Copies of this chain bind each other. A is one copy, B any other.
Amino acid sequence: MRFWFESEFSEVFGLTEQPSAANADALYDQLAETVSSPAFRPRALFDRFRIAVLATTDDLEAHARLAADPGFAGRVVPTFRADRYMSPDEPGWAARLARLAGSAGIDTGSYAGLLAALRARRAVFAAAGGTATDTGVIDAGSDPLTEAAAARIHRSALAGTLAEADTVAYRRNLLYRLAEMSAEDGLVMQLHPGVHRNHHRSTYDAFGPDTGHDLPAVTAFTEPLAPILRDFGTNLVFRLVLFTVDETAFSREIAPLAGFYPSVYAGAPWWFLDTPAAILRYRRAITDSAGFAKTSGFIDDTRAFCSIPARHDMSRRVDAAFLASLVVTHQLGEEDAFGLARRLVDDIPRQVFRLG
């Protein structure tokens, strides 16, 4: 956080003094003046930051307005999320299904209808420039159900008679179906399992979701993803990028999976792990089994627009330090390292996410 702040203050906003009690008012005034200038409008910063592609998880309407605006030529693409339909026990599930039905123009009252609506929406996202999906689940379990079994749970959930054991089975089946759809339409599947959400109930009640009370859980990939990988792991259309906040999975699960399965990529260190020390541990843990080309490239996953340059700069410096450590121990030639330093931030993420 300190690095982000210092980097933003200095590189983005042009402050030249260390913040302190003595200069707080002066720096505040300087910042307020700076951010109100035209050069600090989001689109100007988008150009200044030289962002090649920005992917969001917003809905499509804003994307359509932006695409239609002749005043902006940047590439901002949507990312499809289906996790909101995966937990039939959660409040609002039926309402979200109804909204999905409305936007897709397909009745989601049946399980087959839900799958059809998801397929339809994925196509619309792809048409709007999207190349990837994102799914956050508590675990990566992916056992498929028969159509009859899934349809039965779907009906019982809408009827309010859902059994608890069926909740998990429904979610895991739907994860499998999302992989199946990715193997059909080629949208890159990003998976973010293993977060214990809303650990502190009263903070959640006071401030809502995504306000700091989420914590890492022990996370497995090899066993729970076996059904998906059995059926799509060597499928050339399918692509799966795995993220974790449990770093023991890097060398034990994610790297070996990425080393064997053509479809699997090791996602960048995420959330609690997108720090210089953790990124270095990631490269050390991942590279021996997965190399460089099977890693995703840095994804900052930020909600703070102005932190983007700081975070990518940090990630590049750490990767460069890692490459340098290989060069000085004669494990990599200097020319290869120069090439990789560039490929890691350009060619490889473009290729992984099918950015053309």
Identify the A interface with B (CB < 8 A). Answer: 2-3, 196, 199-203, 212-213, 215-218, 220, 222-223, 226, 229-230, 233-234, 245-248, 251-253, 255-257, 260-261, 272-273, 275-278, 281, 284, 287-289, 329, 331
Name the distance in Å between A185's Cβ and chain B's nearest Cβ. 22
> Looking at the complex, which one of B275, B281, B288 makes contact with A275 (CB distance below 8 Å)?
B288
Closest 4 pairs (CB-CB, A-B)? A275-B288, A216-B252, A215-B256, A215-B222
Q: How far is the CB of A217 from chain B (nearest CB, A)?
A: 7
Inter-chain contact A245/B252, CB cutoff 8 Å = yes
A289/B272 in contact, CB under 8 A:
yes
**Bound CA–CA A256/B2 (angstroms):** 17
Shortest distance from the beta carbon of A329 to any chain B beta carbon, whole Å: 7
Chain B minimum-CB-distance residue to A283: B277
User: Which residue in B202, B212, B252 is a CB contact (below 8 Å) of A218?
Assistant: B252
Bound Cα distance from A245 to B229, whole angstroms: 21
> Judging by beta carbons under 8 Å apart, are A331 and B3 in contact?
yes
Rounded to whole Å, the gap between the CB of A276 and the closest CB of chain B is 7
* Complex interface: chain B residues within 8 A of A233 (CB): 200
Q: How many copies does the complex hold?
A: 3
Partner of A196, one of B222, B251, B261, B277: B222
CB-CB nearest in chain B for A226: B199
Q: Would you call B226 and A222 a contact (CB within 8 A)? A: no
What residue in chain B is nearest A246 (Cβ atoms)? B252
Is A217 within 8 A of B212, CB to CB? Answer: no
The one of B217, B218, B246, B278 in contact with A288, judged by C-beta atoms closer than 8 angstroms, is B278
> Is B251 a contact of A200 with CB atoms below 8 Å?
no
- Interface core residue of A3, A216, A255, A287 (most chain B CB under 10 Å): A216
For the complex, what is the distance from the CA of A251 to the CA of B217, rounded to whole Å? 11
> In the complex, are the beta carbons of B284 and A288 less than 8 A apart?
no
**Of all chain B residues, which has the CB nearest A247?**
B251
Q: In the complex, A275 Cα to B326 Cα: how many Å?
A: 13
Given contacts A196-B222, A199-B222, 13 further A-B contacts (CB under 8 A): A2-B331, A196-B223, A199-B229, A199-B260, A200-B230, A201-B230, A202-B234, A203-B234, A212-B260, A217-B222, A251-B273, A251-B278, A277-B287
Can you list 10 A-B pairs with a CB-CB distance of less than 8 A?
Answer: A2-B331, A200-B230, A200-B233, A203-B234, A213-B260, A215-B257, A215-B260, A216-B222, A245-B252, A272-B289
Q: How far is the CA of A256 from the CA of B272 in the complex (A)?
A: 8
Residue in A199, A213, A222, A247 whose Cβ sees the most chain B Cβ within 10 Å: A199
Q: Which among B200, B216, B252, B257 is the interface contact of A261 at CB below 8 angstroms?
A: B200
8 Å CB contact of A216 from B256, B272, B273:
B256
The distance from the CB of A254 to the nearest CB of chain B, in whole angstroms, is 11
- Chain B contacts for A256, CB-based, 8 A: 215-216, 272
CB distance from A289 to the nearest CB of B (A): 5
How distant is the Cα of A217 from the Cα of B249 in the complex, in angstroms?
10
Q: Closest residue of chain B to A277, judged by CB?
A: B284
* Alpha-carbon separation in the docked complex, A34 to B123 (Å): 57
Q: Which residues of B contact A229 (CB under 8 A)?
A: 199-200
**Chain B residues whose CB sits within 8 angstroms of the CB of A3 once the complex forms:** 331
- Cα A278 to Cα B284 in complex, Å, equals 8
